Amino acid sequence: MLKVLETVPGVSEPRLGKATNGDVAHPFLEYRAAEGSRWVQPTRFTFQESSEGHGYFMATLPGIGPIDTHVTDIIVKKWETTCGARALVLTV
């Protein structure tokens, strides 16, 4: 998934890391994107596990109304087709 980030035009500062919540570490991928919508923090997809035991990556983006996420949309599609990974984007 990191290799996908490194090859998508408009992506800078791709990074793989771990965030700890209590005693549980959650892997994440993050990057900055050349999109019309911008925020202070990098876009971060954190690994989540559903109650059924299925894993997926989720990003929560700030914004009200339509936002420009054309680079992120490309990334999500490539993760699904190239890596078989499920990724979700929520806006709040």
The one-letter amino acid at 79: W
Query: In this model, does residue 49 exceed pLDDT 80?
Result: yes
**67-78 confidence digits (pLDDT tens):** 899 999 999 999
Average pLDDT over residues 2-11: 96
In the chain, domain spans: 2-91
Average pLDDT over residues 20-49: 90
Whole-number pLDDT of residue 84: 92
**19-31 confidence digits (pLDDT tens):** 988 888 899 999 9
Contact between residue 67 and residue 91 where contact means Cβ atoms under 8 Å apart: yes
Measured from the Cβ of residue 59, the count of other Cβ atoms closer than 10 Å reads 21
Query: In this model, does residue 64 exceed pLDDT 80?
Result: no
